[in-house]
Amino acid sequence: MQFFFSKLVIFLIAPANWIICGLILFLAIRSKRWKKITGIATLSIGLLFTNPWLFRTACLSWQPDRTTLNGKFGAVILPGGLAGYDKNGEGYFGLAADRFIQTVAIYRQGYADKIIVTGGNGLLNRNLLPEADFLYQQLIRQGVPARDILIENKSRNTEQNALFTKQLLDSAGLTPPFVLVTSAMHMRRCAQEFSNAGIRTVIYPSNFEVIRSDLNFLEFFWPDLSIPEKWGRLLKEVLGYCVSRNRQAARSAARSERIMPEQKASQASCKDSSHSGESIFLTVSKSVSVIQES
């Protein structure tokens, strides 16, 4: 149920869907007053979420900067979301293939001796193969020995990526820190989920949606119809990050509530013991005084 609810939320927060719904309402409404209001609102949303400069500014403020690695790491972790299958079961890399490239590069440069691949089937069609299986095959083709690859192919979202990877790391006896490789836009949410799971990572963003470069004059105001889809992905990441942070805060608060009664009980026990000790001391003192007087 949670999986389908998350897909619904993703649909609802996508500006492209707002624009489409606005156009449908504009065509369906008969009232001239409400048709005008709907038209103005839809046009405003369209101009706002197709502006290249606005999206670029928001995305640059959200993406973490490129990381320089130093030292040795327990493993490099590659979450899914960069490949898929066609109707014949053939695997293909998607637009986020840079994640794979950077993972192999980190391994070959000697920063880590193990690669962890995490990702099952996060689609509604449960008959498709897990993504981690395809990535495992591609790593083998790139010359990475099978003994250096560990896969987790049951997770369906980023939270499960982290939780199931934690189990895999513990069973393999690998020690932190670990290099976490994913798309720059996805990195904040992904790193938060892995932190929630108790995995200490060093982030290594890749597949940057935008980079710091000069814009030409038209890019400041000329609409780009591809940008609403990008806004949808960015808003999804921001919302997911906030949910992940709040989830962790709620768990910490619940943990504190469980600990406080135990602390109070322990303090009460210490006070009782202190009172008992004082009573014994007074009794012994009185006895000594009686003996000295006699």
Q: What is the mean pLDDT of each run of 10 residues along the chain (294 residues)?
A: 77 94 95 96 96 95 95 96 88 95 98 96 73 96 97 94 96 96 98 97 97 85 94 96 93 81 60 50 42 38
Is 165 within the bounds of a domain? yes
Residue 131 lies in a domain: yes
Between CA 240 and CA 246 the distance in angstroms is: 10
Q: Which one, of 184, 152, 156, 194, lies nearest residue 171 by Cα?
A: 152
Joined tokens for residue 200? 């200490």
- Residue 280: per-residue pLDDT: 41
Angle of helix 131-141 versus helix 98-108 axis, rounded to 10: 50
Give the count of beta carbons closer than 10 Å to the beta carbon of residue 268: 10
What is the chain's length? 294
| CB distance 77 to 118 below 8 Å | yes
For residue 123, the 8-state DSSP code is S
pLDDT of residue 256: 80
SS3 149: strand
Tell me the C-alpha distance between 194 and 116, whole Å: 13
Helix (H, G, I), strand (E, B) or coil at 174: coil
- Is 156 a domain residue? yes
- Asked if the structure places residue 120 within a domain, the reply is yes
Distance, CA of 116 to CA of 169 (rounded, Å): 9
- Confirm whether 198 is domain-assigned: yes
Task: Supply 67's token pair.
Answer: 């990381």
Q: What is the pLDDT of residue 209?
A: 95
What integer pLDDT is reported at residue 153 of this predicted model? Answer: 94
Distance of CA 283 to the CA centre of its chain: 63
Domain for residue 271, yes or no?
no
Range of the domain at 112: 64-208
Between CA 202 and CA 80, with CA 181 as vertex, the angle to 5 degrees is 140
Q: For residue 3, tell me if it sits in a domain.
A: no
Domain count along the chain: 1
Within-domain flag for 111 = yes
Q: How far apart are CA 168 and CA 171, in angstroms?
A: 5
Please answer whether residues 117 and 151 qualify as being in contact, where contact means their C-beta atoms are separated by less than 8 angstroms: yes
What CATH number is associated with residue 126?
3.40.50.620
